[in-house]
Structure 1
Amino acid sequence: MIEQEHVPDQKSVWGIASAIDIYDCHPETTRAPKATRRFVAELCDLIEMERLGETQVVHFGGDEKEADCSMAQRIETARISKHFANLTNAVYLDLFSCKSCPPETVKHVAQDFWAAVKTA
């Protein structure tokens, strides 16, 4: 799901929040912290946003219904976060930035990287 379909004039907004849901992803890749860190690095390079500090990746939850791999990355202009639901192989990616960044670009990069079958 992309809540913002276009990028408005930078002068008219403080920042843009994009919430992208990606389904039927490749489970081994989305659960691998190393792959998640590579995704963040590649995305930040593509959208020309500087990472601040290390990408935090945490896997938690013993019950498969609750198990999740979460990521958080501070960037110069705000933040990127990802939650991967183990049970459904879905990635929930959020990006908030004060710098203009087309949500469709982020969606396509994420869909390709996570080998997703579909997005919302």
Structure 2
Amino acid sequence: MEIMSSKNGNLASDEEIMKRYDKEKKWGLAICIDLGECDHAKVSSKEHITKFAIDLADEIKMKRYGDPIVVFFGAEPKVQGYSLVQLIETSQISGHFAEDTNRAFIDVFSCKGFPAKKTAEYVKKYFGAKKMEFSFCFRDI
């Protein structure tokens, strides 16, 4: 599995990613987005997180399978917050929102291609994050 990250500067453009995805007939694309200094009201709102799952699926042109599952839990302040799972016909969108530190960790995996960088920027804006790192990898065997 090859991983490309914004942290080490090893990212291609969305066009290059999709061209390679199609040419090499990869099975899936996964992105991991870490957000820092998010808007507290957004990462601590079940309604905002639920709407995010719906809006992100629309943004990346994925068909949702059922409603988003958003649950609040965590015994320690460091990890306490909402977790999200949204099934999509081609896999899933998931995330965890750490209220104590105003951070969010979002993963999108699909066997249908989507624009990785554009998706990460959309997520950053949606939660009002001041910091973002993301990586992506092609899934295959």
TM-score (norm 1): 0.90
- What is the deviation of 1:79? 0.3
1:83 aligns with 2:113: no
Letter paired with 1:40? A
**Counterpart position of 1:36:** 49
The aligned counterpart of 1:111 is: 124
Q: Which amino acid aligns with 2:132?
A: T
Over 3 Å off, 4+ runs = 2-5
Residue-by-residue CA offset, 1:94-117 (whole Å, 9 max, x unaligned): 000011101111111111110000
Cα distance 1:18–1:87, how it changes in 2: closer, same or farther (>3 A)? same
Residue 9 (1) aligns with residue 21 (2): yes
Please, which runs of 5 or more residues in structure 1 have no aligned partner?
A: none
The separation in 2 between residues aligned to 1:34 and 1:46, in whole angstroms, is 18
1:47 has 2:67 as partner: no
Higher CA-based Rg:
2
Cα distance per residue 1:60-101 (max 9 Å; x no partner): 124312312100000011100011112221110000001110
Provide the C-alpha distance between the structure 1 equivalents of 2:127 and 2:58, rounded to a whole number of angstroms: 17
Q: Percent identity?
A: 32
Aligned-residue Cα RMSD (Å) equals 1.6
> TM-score normalized by structure 2?
0.78
Name stretches of at least 5 consecutive residues in structure 2 with no aligned partner. 6-10, 134-141
